[in-house]
Structure 1
Amino acid sequence: MPNTPRITRRELLRGAALVPVAGALAACATPASKAPASSSAAPVATSAANPFGVAADKPLEIWIFDGGFGNAYAKDIHEPLFKIKYPKVEIKHNATKEITKVLQPRFAGGNPPDVIDNSGANAMDMGALAQDGQLQDLAPLLDAPSWDDPNVKVRDLLDPAVIDIGTYDGKFNVVGYVNYIHGIWYSQKVFRDNGWAIPKTWDEFLKLCETIKKSGKMAPFTYAGKFPQYLYEPLLTMAAKIGGNEVLVNIDNLEDGAWTSEPMKASAKAWAEVGSKYLLEGTAGLDHVQTQTAQNKYKVAMLPSGSWLENEQKSTTPADFEYGMFPIPDFTSSDKMPYGTLHTQPGESFIVPSKGANPQAGMEYLRAMLSKKAAGDFSELVRTVSTVKGAGDGRQLSPGAKSATEALTAAGTNTVYYRWRTWYAQLNDEAVAATGELMTGGLTPDKYLERLQKKADEIKNDSSIKKYKR
């Protein structure tokens, strides 16, 4: 996930202002009218088998984020499935790690592709895209018959969080395909061989770090120093455990003093201590792959990541490594949320640009992806959990996927998430930079949170930025 600077909202809107005004898009077209050349309305009749009016021979351009899950799943699973039904449609497959750099100019030029996996550290500003009307309203997709069973709607196959997280200002624009499950990742073999127990309290976690450090076998902890969002994730999750889910809701809603709340102060102070005492040497200069590979080489015991980790590291992980994941430990016995609380939310965000050449085929491609077979094959191939209900039933889960799934089951309703990262790209950029400084001692916990509160206040008071609410 290269950390190329993200385009700002104003830059996006300036660029988009150059786009010629297109005709209104009929998301679910009727057979009544033929579209004018300047419109992307469906050129053919709709039916139960073809709910969006996909043309039989119009090309479909797809861009996949080539990150932790690679892009083979699209070439080997999703695209062949689509071609079974539409054999004459030419699929133009593309993959990149540089989503913003490669595709932002396409939006500004008025010729975006038809389907994009807008994910990774370099994803485009989803809030700005939604604000500018660049995203197709996917409500018709939710109410379309599922690919597998015409008697079941697509919406009934999805984890409800997909619809919640993918809705911007009342419109469903984004399909999260993977159930990202965040936690602290480790080698079950290493812990078993050394007699190290999973820490359930923060005191136990710090004692474990001290034990590992004194053993001289490896460093206790690391994170992707070049991409500090890997560290602000556990910091925010701990704050929610301490003060309740409202801590994150208040941050999302740009409430006064949300970043400088007492739970955030306690969490920032706790993680700053880890940064000062227990990090793998050189962490600040390492990216996610380097730190994860260091763990595979038994140079470090623990790191924060999500359920994509196991697949991302499959080429360097020893056969007997046995990935495991545990939730953020209890900070004190007074935490408002119980042990096992997890940050989990739909990720790997697929969008259909509203001004693309073939949005009908774009939505149909998503409908194919959301079939149980496609999602199940995907989950098995990339060792993760899909947001399609029942997709993993009867599948052989890898150790890491099994561990994460068990943690999610144990969490039950005690899950949290946040949306400011995709709503306000500028706030994310500030948080990334500031968290790096916090962990290297360049900012005290108080100064760190004051800096983020200042940026949140700037966004709140900027009338040009669309505000979102939970």
Structure 2
Amino acid sequence: MAQTISRRGLLHGVAAAGAVTAAGTLTGCAMGGGDSADEGAKGRTTAGNPLGVKEDAPLEVVIFNGGFGDEYAKAHQAMYRERYPRAPIRHSATQQIAETLQPRFVAGDPPDVVDNSGGSQIDFNGLVSQGALADLGELLDAPSLDDPKVRVRDTLLPGIVDAGSYDGTVRALNYAYSAYGIWYSEKLFTDRGWQYPQTWDQMIALCRQIKAAGLAPWTYQGKHARYMSWPILAAAAKLGGVEVLKAIDNLEPGAWRQDAVRTAADAYSQLAVDGFLQRGAEGMDHVQAQTEWCRGKAAFISCGSWLENEQKAVTPPGFRMAVAPTPSLTGGDKLPFTAFRGTGSEAFVVPAKAKNLRGGLEYLRVMLSRRAAADFTGRVSSLSCVAGAEAGLALSPGLTSVTRMMKAAGADTFTWLYSSYYRKLERSLVDAACADLFTRRITAAQWADRCQRAADEIARDPSIKKYKRA
């Protein structure tokens, strides 16, 4: 008989949520029978229904109501209803994913599809280690809706499958493709005659010009200072190669003290030392900092490509939002200036105990059609994980810059996985270290030491399942 997550596991998770300002970890007690659990509603498998969906089985979908909102999901549900008109669909949206759904995972009564995203997502380490998520391999090997001769997995952008894999099994589908970089206003730069810097020396020189012009060169999401760890790690990867990131992901001793990481941290700490950060940014949350940037109070901000949709209500006409890669630190960087961090985000899962597990898999297959992916891009100004689905669409300025960056990078994209393997490490420990680094309470060397000690604590903790990135 399949077990459910224990009450003790839930309480442990809730306690972690309070300490980490994030979701609980669902650790402490095993949850057996993940992949072998009763799949609930089943229908007859046919060429038109390769996943064996029961056509009148109710489907429940819970969406993270964050930067992308939830209107795109309602459109996807309408597409699902076209295929299964007798299936009732229950839709809900929340920013409190963990607080809303942890009790239901514990009770063995989760929804059929969950967008497990945002600051209050449920920790993937706990969900995966306790068998709470279905294996998505059957979905990925199913024929795509657009061409039955092409498997779903073969329609996805590179890296999407890896980003959702744990010990070689795919447990999450990261639906949005997020390009991370440094954002600026093309209008501002054109009006001022500024050029985006491709080297760190050029960045510092431009920051001096911007400051002299009466603007803050940078702002940042001070209450979520981990946003500034992203350009540090991106710069480190470009300086030392992707192996730098793999060492961090694998909790290797000394990984955060690698020369490339310390060099990158030292470079970005110069923004604080030289007074290039907007005054008061350390007290701003992400919305406040991003709004200040949209109002022209600062020239640069670090973020992912959900930024454009998240800020659309306050972005001035003609702002022409754009993203670019982190500048090269040296002339000997192992990756070119054009390399950037590109990866999936907005992680959709099908719980192993879903009443309509087959419907949940089919819902994801519908989402991965070109029609659904194009609708998503058109609504939220973000690429999906479906390769080429944006073709023929009129793209917004920010998204146009993302596609330009992707084309320039070619195969030179990268990401890290430690933040999904060990959520607490980024959301609490690295976040706190960044807060101190960019308020000059610690040096770059001390920042690296703090991050390394935090990683070592995770590595030594026997209650946390460890994952190996190849």
* TM-score between the two structures when normalised by the length of structure 2: 0.92
Judged with a 3 Å threshold, the aligned counterparts in structure 2 of structure 1 residues 405 and 56 are, in CA distance, closer, same or farther, namely same
Residue in 2 that maps onto 1:438: 437
Q: Distance in 2 between matches of 1:318 and 1:159?
A: 32
Residue in 1 that maps onto 2:455: 456
Q: Distance in 1 between matches of 2:151 and 2:124?
A: 26
1:243 pairs with 224, 240, 245, which one? 240
Q: Are 1:340 and 1:411, in contact at CA under 8 Å, matched by a contact in 2?
A: yes
Q: Does 1:231 align with 2:228?
A: yes
Q: CA deviation at 1:52?
A: 2.3
Residue in 2 that maps onto 1:90: 88
Q: Distance in 2 between matches of 1:24 and 1:154?
A: 20
Q: Are 2:228 and 2:434, in contact at CA under 8 Å, matched by a contact in 1?
A: yes
Q: Distance in 2 between matches of 1:436 and 1:364?
A: 42
Residue in 1 that maps onto 2:15: none
Q: CA deviation at 1:58?
A: 2.1
Q: CA deviation at 1:142?
A: 0.8
Judged with a 3 Å threshold, the aligned counterparts in structure 2 of structure 1 residues 23 and 291 are, in CA distance, closer, same or farther, namely closer
Q: CA deviation at 1:69?
A: 0.9
Two-structure CA RMSD over aligned residues (Å): 1.7
Q: Are 1:235 and 1:271, in contact at CA under 8 Å, matched by a contact in 2?
A: yes
Greater Cα shift, 47-56 or 234-243:
47-56
Over the matched positions of the two proteins, sequence identity in percent amounts to 45
Residue in 1 that maps onto 2:12: none
Q: Are 1:353 and 1:359, in contact at CA under 8 Å, matched by a contact in 2?
A: yes
Q: Distance in 2 between matches of 1:339 and 1:370?
A: 32
Judged with a 3 Å threshold, the aligned counterparts in structure 2 of structure 1 residues 107 and 83 are, in CA distance, closer, same or farther, namely same
1:422 pairs with 420, 423, 434, which one? 420
Q: Are 1:219 and 1:279, in contact at CA under 8 Å, matched by a contact in 2?
A: yes
Q: CA deviation at 1:251?
A: 0.4
Letter in 2 for 1:13: T
Judged with a 3 Å threshold, the aligned counterparts in structure 2 of structure 1 residues 24 and 299 are, in CA distance, closer, same or farther, namely closer
Judged with a 3 Å threshold, the aligned counterparts in structure 2 of structure 1 residues 367 and 229 are, in CA distance, closer, same or farther, namely same
1:382-422 Cα offsets, whole Å, 9 max, x none, are 11111101201111111110111111110112112100001
Residue in 2 that maps onto 1:278: 276
Letter in 1 for 2:240: G
Number of paired residues? Answer: 450
Q: CA deviation at 1:150?
A: 2.0
Greater Cα shift, 187-196 or 121-130:
121-130
Q: Distance in 2 between matches of 1:291 and 1:435?
A: 16
Letter in 1 for 2:143: P
Residue in 2 that maps onto 1:13: 27
Q: Distance in 2 between matches of 1:260 and 1:101?
A: 36
Q: Distance in 2 between matches of 1:79 and 1:257?
A: 47
2:314 pairs with 306, 316, 323, which one? 316
Q: Are 2:133 and 2:350, in contact at CA under 8 Å, matched by a contact in 1?
A: yes
5+ residue gaps, structure 2: 1-17
Q: CA deviation at 1:115?
A: 0.6
1:152-205 Cα offsets, whole Å, 9 max, x none, are 211111123111111111211111111110111111000000111111110110
Q: CA deviation at 1:275?
A: 2.2
1:160 pairs with 158, 161, 181, which one? 158
Q: Are 2:27 and 2:463, in contact at CA under 8 Å, matched by a contact in 1?
A: no
1:417-442 Cα offsets, whole Å, 9 max, x none, are 10000101221221111111111112
Judged with a 3 Å threshold, the aligned counterparts in structure 2 of structure 1 residues 125 and 274 are, in CA distance, closer, same or farther, namely same
Residue in 1 that maps onto 2:179: 181
* TM-score between the two structures when normalised by the length of structure 1: 0.92
